[in-house]
């Protein structure tokens, strides 16, 4: 179980690099009543990803297990192809592209920031690849339903940790937080594509090496 959580933790770390959500969180922290608005935004992001994970891991468990059983000993080929796909996806990312301007939400009531978190998460389809890889590994591990739920909670806590970090910075450094958060926003915009690219590449290589080990078993 520890090995699985370590594996999922690395993937979740790559998945958590989400400039759009981070910049929206920074904007919410600059509005009146920022704690409630940013907290409900984080809750929306967490619940959207968690529910999606539960639907995939629990709703399609039998289907995925049937596919795995059908493939049988050639499962390493599927893992190898997934690893190659992640490397190709990583190499296709332009790490020096400037972040597109993000429209600021005009309505910032807590219920609306909660819905904003839901919608942003559902619409960020390109960043879902690490999550799909994680869910595939969860299903392969043949966990009970309760274990799947707690594993997904663990994964999604790491996924929203950067957003929680921004909120904690604001709470502990209220007077200096504006300047500090703006610096963080600049760093996120500048370096997150490169970091995301590197982490995806490493995970892809990891999957390929592991699949080659499975072949030799």
Residues 6 or more apart whose Cβ sits within 8 Å of residue 209: none
Give the residue among 196, 39, 185, 29 at the shortest CA–CA distance from 124.
Answer: 196
pLDDT string in tens for the chain (217-residue length): 778 888 888 888 888 877 778 878 888 887 778 888 899 999 999 998 998 888 888 776 566 666 656 655 566 676 677 777 767 766 776 665 544 545 555 556 778 888 888 887 876 654 577 888 888 888 878 788 888 899 999 999 999 998 998 888 888 877 666 666 666 666 666 666 666 667 667 767 776 776 676 555 5
Distance from C-alpha of 133 to C-alpha of 140, rounded to nearest angstrom: 11
On the CB side of 131, CA atoms within 13 Å amount to: 28
Number of domains in the chain: 1
For the question of whether the overall pTM of this predicted structure is more than 0.95, the answer is no
Distance from C-alpha of 156 to C-alpha of 150, rounded to nearest angstrom: 10
Find out whether 105 and 116 touch, Cβ atoms under 8 Å: yes
Structural domain harbouring 201: 2-215
């Amino acid at each position: 179980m520890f090995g699985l959580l370590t594996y999922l933790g690395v993937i979740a770390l790559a998945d958590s690099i989400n400039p759009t959500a981070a910049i929206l969180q920074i904007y919410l922290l600059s509005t009146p009543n920022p704690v409630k608005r940013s907290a409900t935004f984080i809750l929306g992001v967490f619940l959207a990803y968690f529910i999606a994970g539960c639907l995939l891991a629990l709703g399609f468990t039998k289907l995925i297990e049937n596919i795995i059983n059908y493939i049988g000993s050639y499962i390493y080929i599927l893992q190898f192809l997934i690893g190659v796909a992640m490397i190709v996806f990583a190499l296709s990312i332009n790490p020096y592209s400037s972040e597109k301007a993000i429209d600021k939400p005009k309505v910032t009531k807590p219920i609306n920031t909660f819905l904003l978190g839901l919608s942003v998460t559902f619409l960020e389809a390109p960043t879902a690849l690490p999550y799909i890889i994680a869910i595939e590994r969860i299903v392969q591990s043949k966990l009970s339903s309760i274990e799947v739920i707690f594993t997904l909670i663990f994964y999604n806590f790491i996924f929203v940790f950067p957003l929680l970090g921004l909120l904690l910075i604001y709470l502990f450094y209220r007077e200096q937080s504006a300047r500090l958060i703006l610096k963080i926003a600049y760093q996120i915009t500048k370096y997150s594509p490169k970091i995301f690219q590197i982490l995806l590449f490493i995970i892809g290589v990891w999957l390929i090496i592991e699949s080659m080990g499975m072949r030799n078993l």
